[in-house]
Amino acid sequence: MNKVSKNNFEYKKNIENDNIREKIKVIIKRDKKYNLRDLSRTLKKNDAYLQQYLFRGTPKILPEEYRHRLAEILNVNITELTPNWLKKFTPEEKLITIKNIETDSLDNKYISISQKLLFDSDFSKLENLYFFQTNTDKGMVTTIVDVGINKYTKPDLYLLHDKNNFFLAYIKISEVNNTKMSIKPYLETFYPFHISSEILKVSGKALWQGSKIFQK
């Protein structure tokens, strides 16, 4: 990129960054129910964070994690808070952003991973994909689950929900009684058990697991 084209790109980039700031200002002014201090605290930043971003240009662009959270609060699509120049820098492998299924979690609300890791998934229904994290003695394990699959289909790893808690378990039809399901929790600190197939409630099916993941 020569000096002229580089300067032109920087100019356009700054214009787009400013447009995003103005868009956020308009939304906040229009709805009148948002307070910059409270919004900053919701992002777990200092009280003046959004004031400085909107009126002083610091930071130049909101990090992805905060853009997602702010879009969620303001009830707008994340693309509306993403400048065009940044969209163009999306890798060819294409990253998809997935939300934590544990909605009460204040940390790690979103992660971004390559579509290639989920090559056989239906990306027309991204809203069905969530991630779930499990603490093990070997570290944190991240699991991508499809909540669109809410019943047993074949022996595999599933996400279950019990007493307001999610947990992973390997499920298969019992070898002793085919009307019951054999449940083996992913964490070995919990004992296997059997349950009637009629009352088994599945929250999702595991699509991918890993201990290291590209995270935003």
Whole-number Å distance between alpha carbons of 213 and 100:
14
pTM of the model: 0.57
Q: Which two tokens stand for residue 15?
A: 């214009």
What fold is seen in the domain 95-210?
Umud Fragment, subunit A (2.10.109)
Whole-number Å distance between alpha carbons of 167 and 193:
14
Summarised one tens digit per residue, pLDDT across range 67-102 is 888 888 888 888 888 887 776 655 445 677 888 998
Q: CATH number for the 3-87 domain, one of 1.10.238.10, 1.10.260.40, 1.10.1060.10, 1.20.1250.20? A: 1.10.260.40
Alpha-carbon Rg for the chain in angstroms: 22
Q: Where are the chain's structural domains?
A: 3-87, 95-210
Whole-number Å distance between alpha carbons of 8 and 55:
23
Full DSSP string of 193-210: EEEETTT--EEEEEEEEE
Summarised one tens digit per residue, pLDDT across range 181-198 is 999 999 988 999 999 999
Whole-number Å distance between alpha carbons of 43 and 66:
6
State the DSSP H helix or E strand holding residue 6, giving kind and residue range, or none if neither: helix 3-31
Asked if the domains 3-87 and 95-210 are classified in one and the same CATH topology, the answer is no
Whole-number Å distance between alpha carbons of 77 and 31:
16
Closest C-alpha among 32, 51, 211 to residue 135: 211
pLDDT band at 119 (very low <50, low <70, confident <90, very high): low
User: Cis ω on the peptide bond leading into residue 83 (within 30° of 0)?
Assistant: no
Summarised one tens digit per residue, pLDDT across range 61-71 is 887 778 888 88
